Amino acid sequence: MSSHGAPIPMTSRASGPLKGEAHVPGDKSISHRSLILGAMTVGETKVTGLLEGQDVLDTAKAMQAFGADIEKRDGTWHIHGVGVGGFAEPENVIDCGNSGTGVRLIMGAMATSPITATFTGDASLNGRPMARVTDPLALFGTKSYGRKGGRLPMTLVGAANPLSVRYDVPVPSAQVKSAVLLAGLNAPGETVVVEREATRDHSERMLAGFGATIETVETNEGRVITLQGRPEFKPQTIIVPRDPSSAAFPVCAALICEGSDVLVPNIGLNPTRAGLFTTLREMGADLTYENEREEGGEPVADLRARFSPNLKGIEVPPHRAASMIDEYPVLSVVAAFAEGKTHMPGVKELRVKESDRIDAMAVGLRAAGIAVDEGEDWWTVHGLGHGNVAGGATAASHLDHRIAMSFMVLGMATQKPMSVDDGGPIATSFPIFETLMGNLGASITREAAQE
């Protein structure tokens, strides 16, 4: 198991107006995929703007262990890959740290090569369900040997003669969809994946970009994605857009801190990722899109978020859940400062992330004076309106970066400071979070609550 190091307690206090520009790091989903697809391509793929968070660095190390040559020179990542089906057998256990995306996509990518690999992670990752990936991989002929309940550590024996597969994804998960598509790369003929609810489509876009033949058709049964196996990938030059899931933190902080006006430039607004911003606008947020444009085939804008004293609780439509799945924790913080109830149904997946995110947020919000109701796949936050949230509590982050950052945002507008027991996991996805928020005027210190 990877070690996470000593806990780093953090405290966030009422902050003056947040002002300025927030340049958030590269998109985590696109960063993982750039490394994995680059490692499956003969020739040099160049990547700029790669997120250098621990999750992505662990994927880079894993790709090296499977035979790719990866180095960073002059701000650009250079990847010399081994080709589809060319992975070498790793000599050691692959440690994916805290990253569900990393481990599940890599399992898919190696599943149809005649090699064996053992995967592990930290305590959070080793508690997360992997059968959702190994079940469809078994259809290709891949064998897996994990702990009870399909948990890591787990050994996968890749299929030497993979079959072609059609798979209806039973949960709304881009990681499962992507694992099957990546496995399909080294399978003969067509791999077909059907998803009932649209999830982030970065794999489909990037596979096409690297030269695969892949087609998505919207049908009554959902999105039917067909990939032709054994493509000849061509090396790419990739500029990773900035991460909307990281942008969520300065945006939400600006909405709840009096007098704030923050610009978050160059944020990808791919509709499969942008659900939070639609939701915030429905709540009455002063959030505008400036300089809207297309970059690399994706809609992009500069987001401007200003203090919004009259936020209202709303019903968040369940069909929007996949497009904002990682943003519910910080949405629940904004909901605490809105008037009335914010009801969030259709979010069972939140229970199997780095932590049970409904439970982790509900416990911390209640300790801060906010009523929260919850069921298996829904939760409701009873907002108190601006200026009325007590705070004055320490929340457990459960090795979950988004939980830690969400409570740090909460503390920027509560009456008393908010603390987390461990802000260390923030480095997995947003290593510059404290500096970036501090530069805007937020007060986050590395100390436990002072009673």
Ligand X SMILES: O=C(O)C1=C[C@@H](OP(=O)(O)O)[C@@H](O)[C@H](O)C1
Nearer Cβ to ligand X (176/368) = 176
**Cα–Cα separations (whole angstroms), residue 320 to 120, 200, 327:** 32, 12, 11
The least distance separating ligand PEP from the CB of residue 99, rounded to whole angstroms, comes to 5
Q: Which is nearer to ligand X, 112 or 323 (CB)?
A: 323
- Smallest separation, CB 131 to ligand PEP (Å): 15
Provide the Cα torsion 176, 429, 118, 189; round to 10°: 30
- Prior bond to 129 cis, omega within 30? no
CA proximity to 137, closest of 100, 101, 86, 175: 175
245 known member of a binding site: no
Q: Encoding tokens for residue 152?
A: 């890591």
Q: Return the number of the residue (96 or 198) whose C-beta is nearest ligand PEP.
A: 96
**Residue 242 touches which member of ligand PEP, ligand X, none, C-beta under 5-8 Å by kind:** none
151 assigned binding-site residue: no
Catalytic residue among 122, 326, 400, 421: 326
* Nearest approach, Cβ of residue 211 and ligand PEP (Å): 26
Tokens 């439509």 identify what position?
Answer: 317
| Other Cβ atoms closer than 10 A to 216 | 16
User: Among ligand X, ligand PEP, none, what binds residue 173 when CB lies within 5 to 8 Å by partner kind?
Assistant: ligand X
355 annotated to a ligand binding site: no
SS3 20: strand
Provide the minimum distance between the beta carbon of 101 and ligand PEP in the complex, in angstroms, as a whole number: 3
195 binds, among ligand PEP, ligand X, none (CB under 5 to 8 A by kind): none
Q: Which is nearer to ligand X, 142 or 246 (CB)?
A: 246
Q: Which does 4 bind (CB under 5 to 8 A by kind): ligand PEP, ligand X, none?
A: none
Instruction: Dig out the tokens for 302 from the structure.
Output: 């500069």
429 contacts which partner out of ligand PEP, ligand X, none, CB within 5 to 8 A by kind?
Answer: ligand PEP
- The angle at the Cα of 120, spanning 71 to 40, to the nearest 5 degrees, equals 40
Residue 235 CB, nearest distance to ligand PEP (Å)? 25
Residue 384 vs 399, nearer CB to ligand PEP: 399
Which residues contribute to the site for ligand X (CB under 6 A)? 29, 100-101, 173-175, 178, 200, 325-326, 349
CB of 175 vs ligand X, minimal distance in Å? 3
Residue 230 labeled ligand binder? no
Residue 366 is assigned to a ligand binding site: no
3 annotated as a binding-site residue: no
Identify whether 326 is a catalytic site residue. yes
Compute the residue count for the chain: 451
Which of residues 173 and 260 has its CB atom nearest to ligand X in the complex? 173
Identify the burial level of 86 via C-beta atoms within 10 angstroms of its C-beta, where 0-12 means exposed, 13-18 middle and 19 or more buried.
middle
Residues 6+ apart with CB under 8 A from 386: 256, 258, 309, 311, 337, 413
The partner in contact with residue 99, picked from ligand PEP, ligand X, none with C-beta cut-offs of 5 to 8 angstroms by kind, is: ligand PEP
Residues of this chain that interact with ligand PEP (CB under 6 A) are 99-101, 326, 353-354, 402, 429
The answer to the question of whether 304 is labelled as a binding residue is: no
Task: Tell me how crowded residue 398 is: count the other CB atoms within 10 A of its CB.
Answer: 23
Could you give the strand order of the β-sheet that contains 19-21, starting from the edge strand earlier in sequence?
19-21, 261-268, 298-306, 286-295
Q: How far is the CB of 57 from ligand X (least distance, A)?
A: 16
Lookup result for tokens 């004055």: 392
Minimum CB distance to ligand PEP smaller for 308 or for 332: 332
List the single partner that 126 binds among ligand PEP, ligand X, none, CB under 5 to 8 Å by kind: none
Query: By Cβ distance, which residue is nearest to ligand PEP?
Result: 100
CA atoms of 4 and 426, how far apart (whole Å): 11
Which residues make Cβ contacts (< 8 Å) with residue 323, sequence separation at least 6? 198, 200, 271, 272, 273, 274, 275
For the chain, the first-to-last Cα distance in angstroms comes to 34
With tokens 């033949």, the residue in question is 213
**Is residue 28 part of an annotated ligand binding site?**
yes
Q: Please enumerate, by residue number, every residue annotated as part of a binding site for 3-phosphoshikimate.
A: 28-29, 33, 173, 175, 326, 353
Q: Please enumerate, by residue number, every residue annotated as part of a binding site for phosphoenolpyruvate.
A: 28, 100, 128, 175, 357, 402
What residues are annotated to the active site? 326
Q: Please enumerate, by residue number, every residue annotated as part of a binding site.
A: 28-29, 33, 100, 128, 173, 175, 326, 353, 357, 402
